[in-house]
Amino acid sequence: MYNHKYIDKPKAQRALFSHAKKRPTIYALGNKGADTLVHQCNIPMPQSVYWTEKNRRVREKHIEHTLGISDFMVSVEMVCKKAGNIRLLDRDEILARSSKQTKRVEYPFRWKTQIMHGDQGTV
């Protein structure tokens, strides 16, 4: 899949895992992979994204963050499956059940929070 450009290997992972004894390989979606998901699987993809360039520009911190989110989501999904009486709702189902006001918001899943540092807060 990599040789045929369906998936890509972000170069930033080299530095991220440079001192690891066993270096995992991280793959990212390539241009042909995105096209295949759209045309053969009917999975919507943003048309404005040039996946190969995006993978070239990704940095180590983004890879670490994305892997952390993925680990968390897999853990949550596994706990839900093991429990048997709870399931994880995907974003489309949550939005479908949301109020009209929430559906009209540009970023319906963005939460405003205040972070305190000493006596000063930021949003």
Distance CA 4, CA 31 (A): 10
Q: Are residues 46 and 66 in the same domain?
A: no
15 is in which domain, residue-wise? 1-58
Number of domains making up the chain: 2
Q: Which distant-in-sequence residues (6+ apart) come within 8 Å of 102 by Cβ?
A: 95, 108
Q: Are residues 12 and 51 in the same domain?
A: yes
Q: Are residues 18 and 70 in the same domain?
A: no
Phi-psi region of 43 (alpha: psi -120 to 50; beta: other; left: phi over 0): beta
Q: Are residues 14 and 51 in the same domain?
A: yes
Residue range 11-70, pLDDT digits in tens = 888 877 777 777 788 899 999 999 999 999 998 888 888 888 888 888 888 888 988 999
Distance CA 39, CA 25 (A): 27
The mean pLDDT value of the chain amounts to 87
Q: Are residues 51 and 33 in the same domain?
A: yes
* In-domain check, residue 123: no
Neighbours of 12 (CB within 10 A): 19
